[in-house]
Every structure is written in C-alpha cells, then in structure tokens.
Structure 1
Amino acid sequence: MFINILLVSLGGAIGAVLRFSVSPQIDKLFSSNFPYGIFLVNIIGCFFIGLLGNKLSENESLRLLFIVGFLGSLTTFSTFAFDNYNLLNLRSYYYLFANLILSNFIGIIMVIIGTRTIKLFN
C-alpha cells in the first residue's frame, strides 16, 4: 500500500508542477477572460487518458503513477469549476458557456481520438 501511495504522490507532484508551469504561460499568450491554459491542459489530458488509459490499466503501478497521479493532478476539474465560477461572477457569460461546452465536447472527442489512435498501433 505504501508503494501505491508513493506512485500516486510522484505522478501527482509531476502533474501538478507541469500544470502550474504550463497553464499560466498559455494564459499569457491570450489577452482574454477565457481560461485557455486550463482548457488546453484538460484537453491534452483527455487525449492522453484516451491514448493510454486502457493499456495502463493492465499494470496497476503504471495506472497509479500516470492515470491517477499524473493525469489526475494535471487535468484538474476543480480548477475548471473555479474558473467557470469566476467567469460567472465576472458576468462573462459568453466565455462561461464557451468553456463549459468546448471543454466537455472537445474533451470527449479527444478521448475518442486518443483511444482510436492507440488502436492503430495494436
């Protein structure tokens, strides 16, 4: 059990640091209320969970490290919800609905693309 906690912690630390480093840099590229940073991080995470999720589920250690730890902290739904809450408070309804719809719709599409991409190599 201790090894499992270490694997999740290691993956989580790497994912959190990557999100912390990358998301604000992406936001700086755009002068907008739309949360592009977390949007892109979530979409990329959705692709990778589609690409590797089924394969890594066969190996518990890799699943804990990469899916639960790394992707779990990289693609933070809580940050997504908080960004939408802030957009609501700013009355930026256009960006609020764009983020809600695009993140979910494109996220599902990226999971499908990731899953189908890995099937090409099996």
Structure 2
Amino acid sequence: MLIKILMILAGGGLGALTRYTLGSQIDKSLNLSFPIGIFCVNLIGCFLIGLLVSLFENKFIFSENLKIFLIIGFLGSLTTFSTFAFDNYNFLTQKNIILLFTNIFLTNTFGLLMVLLGIKTIKIIN
C-alpha cells in the first residue's frame, strides 16, 4: 500500500507541476481573457488518458504501480477540472455568460473528441 501511495504522490506532484508550467506558458504567450492554458492542458490530459487506457486494455503489459502513477497521480493532477469549475464560477459572477458557455461547451466537446482520438490513435498504431 505504501508503494501505491508514493506512486500517487510522485505522479500527482509531476502532474501539478506540468499543469502549472504548461498552462502558465500558454496563457502568457496568448494573453487571452479565455482560460486557454487550462483548456489546452485539459485537452492534452484527455488525449493522454485515451492513449493510456487503450494501451492498458490491449496487448501492452504495465505494472499496477505504473498505472496508478500515470492515471491517478499524473493525469489526476494534470487535468484538474476544479480549475475549470472555478473559471466558470468567475465567468458567472462576472456575468460573462458568453465565456461561461463557451468554456463549458469547448472543454467538454473537445475533451471527448481528444479521448476518442487517443483511443483511435492506438488502434491505428496496432
């Protein structure tokens, strides 16, 4: 059990650092009022979970600890939807309904598409 906890902690730390660094760099470089950084990070995370789940379900063999590190730790921390919800809360309190619904629609629609693309990518490679 201790190894699993350490895998989650290590993956979570790396995922959080990746989310912060990547999201900040995207936001800084594009300088939009839309939270494009976390939007992009969530899409990348959705794509990666599609890839990994596909790999885990197919002929590739991974240890349980690696799965815990990647899915629960790294991706669980990378694709935090709490930031997504907080951004939407801010749009709501600012009465910016257009950005609120744009963020909800784009993140959910393209997130689902990226999961499907990740799964499809593994099927094509195999």
TM tier, smaller:
over 0.9
Which residue does 1:55 correspond to in 2?
55
Which ranges in structure 2 are unaligned for 5 or more consecutive residues? none
Aligned to 1:33: 33
* % identity of equivalent residues: 52
The 2-side partners of 1:75 and 1:96 are apart by: 19
Q: Contact (CA 8 Å) 1:33, 1:87: kept in 2 or not?
A: no
Q: 1:95 aligns with which of 96, 99, 104?
A: 99
TM-score normalised over the length of structure 1: 0.93
1:28-87 alpha-carbon deviations (Å, 9 max, x no partner): 123332100100000000000001123236531111000110000000011110011011
Number of residue-to-residue matches in the alignment: 122
Partner residue, 2:108: 104
SS in 2 for 1:91: coil
User: How big is the alpha-carbon RMSD for the aligned residues of Structure 1 and Structure 2?
Assistant: 1.3
Q: Is the 8 A contact 1:33 1:92 kept in 2?
A: no
Alpha carbons 2:54, 2:122 under 8 Å: kept? no
CA contact 1:56–1:62 (8 Å) conserved in 2: no
